[in-house]
Structures are given as structure tokens and as C-alpha cells.
Amino acid sequence: DVVVVGSVNADLVVGVERRPGPGETVLGADLATHPGGKGANQAVAAARLGARAALVGRVGDDGHGRLLRASLAAAGVDLAHLATTPGAPTGVALITVGPDGDNSIIVSPGANARVGPDDVAAARAAITAASVVSCQLEVPLPAVAAAARLGAEAGARVVLNLSPPALVPDDLLARCDPLVVNEHEAAFLLGPDGPRDPAAMAEALRRRGPRSVVVTLGADGALVAAGPEPVRVPSPRVAAVDTTGAGDAFTAALCLRLARGDALPDAARYAARAGAAAVRAPGAQGSFPAPGDLPGP
Ligand code: ADP
């Protein structure tokens, strides 16, 4: 169904009263270690919703790598193309959470930085057989570009989540169907003089070349630009506990439904329910819904 090409990180989370300045030490709460990384999150979220999902990526030969493999395997993700890089650490995100729930994050890509076009070539059979190839930008651009090219040439639908935001070549943008961005990523692509109204943002992004665009709007749902007029998709109202992973759950659910043949607005309506489900519980992968957990439309 869905092949995800992307990152695998251990999220190392410590609660603090305040952040240390240069040269300073502060004491924090107990360390929590969670499986994360946008690629792994999307693969887990898609599998939990019932997709056949495979992940193309890299971990290190270390405890974090084994933790991530275990969580991916438990969700039923196909790990035939998850390679181990000897001598490189598994990617980590060092996360401090302040008293107001505000995050500061340092990502050390580790093995993710070694994902390249060779890894895409090694996964050729899986990528060319996929209905949907899903990429984000936590692995190097040459790998993303190679996966999008291979997938598109084989007739797969290419979904690119522009996260973390970065400029990408026009030929990659042109293969996206859809390009998925939140408001910050949309604003990054459109620049300081770009539109701020979500519908205008979606239209302006579409003129950059992607075949379709989805702008996610947090509690306000999403905007889909695929036909002549942008379509607004609502999100169910839920009590938000922790929005970590909402975008990953949204994109994964979108990929699943596109793989099953939904039109983009219908897939986005389903995805908004998955995104909303993911904000009801703390963390990323632990909050991802099974089909029975989805809030009503
Ligand atoms: P990201 O996590 O990438 O910043 P968003 O915050 O836009 O992306 O969230 C992605 C999707 O998750 C939204 O389109 C929406 O469906 C759902 N979502 C996020 N936050 C909430 C919320 N507070 N209430 C309901 N749904 C939400």
C-alpha cells in the first residue's frame, strides 16, 4: 500500500523549569525515551490504521535502533528496507519541555543523514509496487528526490510533507500529489510577502507546481487545493492534550486513503480525524489511533 521513505529517531524528553544558558547547568525531571522521527511515525500511524506499510530508512547499531525497530515491528511495519549503519548513532531528538508544555528540540540526525539514493535503489521493488510513496525532509534531499522520481515513474502517488521546511527543486515539487504543509511550512515556502489567508496560501503553493496541495490548520482542520476551488475540511473537536505527531498521523491517514482510491478531499476528511485522535494523548506513536479510535467526522 504505502512506502514511507524517512527518518527514525529516539525522542529523549526531559521536563525543565527553565532552560540553561551558555555555560550553565540545570536539573530536569526523569528522562523519557520515546520512538519518533517523522518517517517512523508515519509508518507506524499508517500501519495502525490498517495499511500495509514499509519504511525505507536507517538506524544505528545501538540501543535506540533496537528500540525503534521493536516499536515499528510491533505496529506491523515492514522493515525489510530499514538498514543498520555500523558506526553511526541512531538519530535522536533532544527535547526539553518547559512548564507551559513548550518544546525546545535539537535533532541529531545520526544514521538518518546516511540515507541516500542507494537505499532507494535497494528498495526499488517495494517503491515501484507501492500505491503511495510518502516522504518528509528529515533525510537528505537526494534520497527524497530519488524516491519521488522512482515512485512517480512507476505510477505511484507521491506525497511530500515539507517538514522540516526547506526549499526543494521544482521537479520534486511537480511530482507531489499532494504537497502537505502546515501553516508555518506554507509561510516558509511563500516567503514574507506571500498571502496569509489559508485558501490563498494553498492556491499560491499550487502555482509553484505541485499537482495538489494540502495545508493543515491545527484544530481548524485542513484546506485541500486540487480542483478549481480550494476545499475546506473540518477537524473533529477534541480535548487537546499534546499535539506532537498530529501532522504525522494526518499524513499517514491521508496516504492510506489515497492508496485505497479515495479522492483527495475525502482522504483529507479521514486524515483530519486521525490528526485529531493523535492530539488526545501524549507523545507521538503512543497516541496514534486504530480505526476504532477515530473521533466522528
Ligand atoms: P503539524 O502537527 O504538522 O503542525 P497541524 O497542527 O496542522 O500539523 O495538525 C495536523 C492535523 O491534526 C490537523 O489538520 C487536524 O486535523 C489535526 N489537529 C491538530 N491539532 C488539533 C486540535 N487541537 N484539535 C483537533 N484536531 C487537531
Strand order in the sheet with 157-161: 82-85, 53-60, 2-5, 132-135, 157-161, 176-182, 213-216, 222-225, 231-233
DSSP assignments along 71-122, one per residue? HHHHHT-B-TTEEEETTSPPEEEEEEE-TTS-EEEEEE-GGGGG--HHHHHH
| Ligand 1 and 182: CB distance under 6 A | yes
Does any ligand 1 atom lie closer than 6 A to the CB of residue 251? no
Ligand 1 atom, smallest distance to 217 CA: 7
The best mutation among 250, 254, 255 to test binding of ligand 1, ranked by most ligand atoms within 8 Å of the C-beta, falls on 250
Best residue for ligand 1 mutational test, from 248, 254, 257, 279 (most atoms within 8 Å of Cβ): 279
Q: What is the C-alpha separation between 255 and 59, in angstroms, rounded?
A: 24
Q: Give pLDDT, residue 192.
A: 94
Residue nearest to atom 11 of ligand 1 (CA): 275
Residue 83, phi then psi, degrees to nearest 5: -90, 160
Q: Which of 62, 197, 248, 262 is catalytic?
A: 248
Q: What is the pLDDT of residue 209?
A: 96
Position 281 scores a pLDDT of 87
DSSP codes, 219-284: GG-EEEESSSS-EEE-------S--TTHHHHHHHHHHHHHHTT--HHHHHHHHHHHHHHHTSSSSS
Q: What is the pLDDT of residue 102?
A: 82
Nearest atom (ligand 1) to Cα of 276: 26
Return the pLDDT at 18: 95
Per-residue model confidence (pLDDT) at position 44: 98
Query: Within 10 A of 208 (CB to CB), how many other CB atoms are there?
Result: 15
Cβ neighbours around 32 below 10 Å, total: 14
Per-residue pLDDT of the chain (297 residues; tens, 9 = 90+): 999 999 999 999 999 999 999 999 999 999 999 999 999 999 999 999 999 999 999 999 999 999 999 999 999 999 999 999 999 999 999 999 999 888 889 999 999 999 999 999 999 999 999 999 999 999 999 999 999 999 999 999 999 999 999 999 999 999 999 999 999 999 999 999 999 999 999 999 999 999 999 999 999 999 999 988 999 999 999 998 888 899 999 999 999 999 999 999 999 999 999 999 999 988 889 999 999 999 988
Query: Strand 103-108 and strand 132-135: pairing?
Result: unpaired
Cα(117)–Cα(128) distance, integer angstroms: 14
At 186 the three-state DSSP class reads helix
| Superfamily the domain 2-6+38-89+111-293 falls into | Ribokinase (3.40.1190.20)
CA of 248 to the centre of ligand 1 (A): 9
For residues 231 and 83, give the distance between their C-alpha atoms in angstroms, rounded to a whole number.
40
- Kindly report the number of other CB atoms within 10 A of residue 183's CB atom: 16
Interface predicted TM-score (ipTM) of this complex, two decimals:
0.98
Would you state the cell numbers that stand for residue 19, as one nine-digit string?
532552560
Q: Which of 84, 58, 79 is nearest to 126 (CA)?
A: 79
Length of the chain: 297
CA-nearest of 4, 2, 71 to 36 is 71
Q: Is 186 exposed, middle or buried (0-12, 13-18, 19+ CB in 10 A)?
A: buried
- Ligand 1 midpoint to CA 157 (Å): 23
